[in-house]
């Protein structure tokens, strides 16, 4: 779904007339995903030679999404410390090797350690800036942002006309798409609705987790079935395009077609691995404890944080971000003041 189509959708869910209640549009930002994407592509330094691409790019992107979606609420969610541990306990190779190489090749950094230090410095600053804005910033130790966002999507939708928008390049979120949940993938600049997923993957969003379970995910070091690619998946498992299924259904199909192709045998030989893949990527059952659920429930019903635009501008000037955001005083007022009014 392109931007023009999104505007039509938004127009369609806004109730008109006096005495009506405007539907909720909740924006969820996958914080680290947005930060690292900007850090990796924006080679910008301030007058002191300090890299500012991650910091400035983060807020430019956040502002662009707020301007497009015009949300009533905004949540920025970050992975907590040790967030991958729960999944590493299931699959030790999960997300392994991610920190071994640089993600940029610019002269702004002397080496990988210098780059890592800059990432940390800019991330700390992102959090400080966010605390001046009327958005809810969330991070829970040992919990991934995926799990928090998946849980909250079910908590914040209270009316059929409410919409939740998830901004992330992580494909795991596609399985959450439904009539009320839309995923925006920044690299593609496209909104994924139910119909978008069906058009692109020939299956419902609910089946997308099976797509990833069988094919794997190189970015997370999750192995799929050897010899099975996307075209082969559609040919060997046409049922994925016909009805909603679960992993047991896949195993049943493989048992019935065991002699037809070696792929079916490989799936059955790797049932334990497939079950691990599924569990790791299953956002319908996020890895969140009861205590963490209670914390998030309270956060949803809590007041939005104080809105401190002058402090945001002061930070911006201290960091000498210059033209990263044009007319920052107007920008922060134009985009964020209405979030206070809406609440």
Q: What is the pLDDT of residues 46-86, one digit of tens each?
A: 999 999 999 999 999 999 999 999 999 999 999 999 999 99
43 and 148 belong to one structural domain: yes
Q: Which two tokens stand for residue 54?
A: 């991650």
107 and 197 belong to one structural domain: yes
Query: Is 317 a residue whose pLDDT tops 90?
Result: yes
* Residue 283 to residue 174: CA distance in whole angstroms: 10
Q: Is the pTM of this model over 0.75?
A: yes
Phi first, then psi: give them for residue 56, nearest 5 degrees.
Answer: -65, -40
User: For residue 342, what pLDDT is reported?
Assistant: 60
Can you tell me the mean pLDDT for 237-258? Answer: 96
Q: CA neighbours within 13 Å on the CB side: how many for 119?
A: 19
How many domains, in total, are found in the chain?
Answer: 2
172 and 124 belong to one structural domain: yes
232 and 101 belong to one structural domain: no
**Closest alpha carbon to 292 in 128, 174, 127, 150:** 150
The residue length of the chain stands at 343
Query: Is 88 a residue whose pLDDT tops 60?
Result: yes
Q: Which two tokens stand for residue 191?
A: 């909104």
Q: What is the pLDDT of residues 257-308, one digit of tens each?
A: 999 999 999 999 999 999 999 999 999 999 999 999 999 999 999 999 999 9
CB-CB contact of 37 with 169 (8 Å): yes
* Residue 44 to residue 189: CA distance in whole angstroms: 22
**Closest alpha carbon to 177 in 203, 139, 158, 212:** 203
User: For residue 5, what pLDDT is reported?
Assistant: 58
Phi first, then psi: give them for residue 301, nearest 5 degrees.
Answer: -85, -5
Query: Is 44 a residue whose pLDDT tops 70?
Result: yes
Q: Which two tokens stand for residue 338?
A: 């209405």
Count of beta carbons in the 10 Å neighbourhood of residue 185? 18
* Residue 32 to residue 35: CA distance in whole angstroms: 5
What mean pLDDT value characterizes the chain? 91
179 and 223 belong to one structural domain: no
Query: Is 35 a residue whose pLDDT tops 70?
Result: yes
Bridge partner list, 167 = 29, 184
Residue after which a domain boundary falls, among 253, 281, 309: 281
Q: Return the sign of the alpha-carbon dihedral for residues 276, 280, 281, 284.
A: positive
Query: Is 15 a residue whose pLDDT tops 80?
Result: no
User: For residue 130, what pLDDT is reported?
Assistant: 98
Residue after which a domain boundary falls, among 246, 262, 281: 281
User: For residue 152, what pLDDT is reported?
Assistant: 97
- pLDDT greater at residue 158 or residue 253: 253
Instruction: State percent of the chain over pLDDT 90.
Output: 83
Query: Is 315 a residue whose pLDDT tops 60?
Result: yes
Given pLDDT bands bounded at 50, 70 and 90, which one contains residue 102? confident
Chain position carrying tokens 């900007």: 38
User: For residue 116, what pLDDT is reported?
Assistant: 92
- Residue-number span of the structural domain to which 221 is assigned: 205-281
173 and 79 belong to one structural domain: yes
| CA quadruple 68, 69, 72, 78: dihedral, nearest 10 | -100
Choice among 21-30, 174-183, 219-228, 309-318 with the minimum mean pLDDT:
21-30
108 and 172 belong to one structural domain: yes
* Residue 337 to residue 343: CA distance in whole angstroms: 10
Can you tell me the mean pLDDT for 239-253? Answer: 96
196 and 333 belong to one structural domain: yes
Query: Is 18 a residue whose pLDDT tops 50?
Result: no
240 and 308 belong to one structural domain: no
247 and 161 belong to one structural domain: no
188 and 294 belong to one structural domain: yes
45 and 113 belong to one structural domain: yes
CATH number at residue 232: 1.10.150
Query: Is 103 a residue whose pLDDT tops 50?
Result: yes
User: For residue 109, what pLDDT is reported?
Assistant: 86
CB-CB contact of 33 with 145 (8 Å): yes
Given pLDDT bands bounded at 50, 70 and 90, which one contains residue 19? very low
Residue after which a domain boundary falls, among 237, 255, 281: 281
Got the DSSP string for 239-273? Answer: GGGTS---HHHHHHHHHHTTTT-HHHHHHHHTHHH
CB-CB contact of 169 with 187 (8 Å): yes
């Amino acid at each position: 779904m392109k931007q023009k189509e999104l505007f039509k959708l938004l127009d369609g869910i806004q109730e008109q007339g006096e005495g009506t209640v405007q539907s909720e549009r909740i924006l969820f930002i996958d914080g680290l995903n947005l930060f690292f994407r900007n850090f990796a592509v924006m080679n910008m330094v301030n007058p002191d030679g300090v890299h500012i691409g991650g910091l400035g790019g983060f807020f430019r992107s956040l502002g662009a999404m707020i301007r497009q979606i015009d949300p009533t609420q905004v949540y920025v969610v970050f992975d907590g410390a040790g967030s991958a541990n729960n999944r590493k306990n299931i699959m030790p190779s999960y997300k392994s090797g991610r920190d071994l190489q640089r993600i940029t090749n610019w002269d702004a950094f002397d080496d990988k350690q210098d780059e890592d230090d800059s990432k940390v410095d800019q991330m700390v600053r992102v959090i400080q800036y966010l605390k001046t804005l009327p958005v809810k910033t969330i991070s829970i130790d040992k919990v991934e942002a995926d799990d928090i966002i998946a849980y909250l999507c079910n908590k914040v939708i209270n009316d059929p006309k409410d919409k939740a928008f998830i901004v992330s390049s992580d494909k795991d979120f596609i399985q959450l798409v439904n009539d009320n949940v839309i995923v925006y993938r920044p690299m593609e600049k496209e909104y994924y609705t139910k119909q978008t997923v069906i058009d692109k993957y020939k299956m419902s969003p609910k089946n997308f987790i099976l797509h990833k379970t069988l094919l794997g995910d190189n970015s997370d070091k999750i192995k799929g079935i050897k010899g099975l690619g996307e075209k082969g998946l559609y040919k060997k498992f046409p049922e994925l395009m016909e009805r909603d299924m679960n992993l047991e259904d896949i195993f049943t199909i493989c048992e019935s077609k065991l002699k037809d192709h070696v792929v079916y045998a490989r799936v059955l030989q790797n049932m334990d691995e497939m079950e691990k893949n599924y569990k790791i990527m299953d956002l319908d059952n996020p890895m969140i404890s009861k205590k963490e659920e209670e914390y998030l429930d309270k956060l949803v019903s809590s007041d939005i944080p104080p809105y401190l635009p002058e402090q945001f501008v002061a930070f911006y000037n201290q960091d000498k971000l210059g033209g990263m955001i044009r007319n920052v005083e107007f920008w922060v007022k134009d985009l964020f003041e209405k979030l206070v009014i809406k609440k």
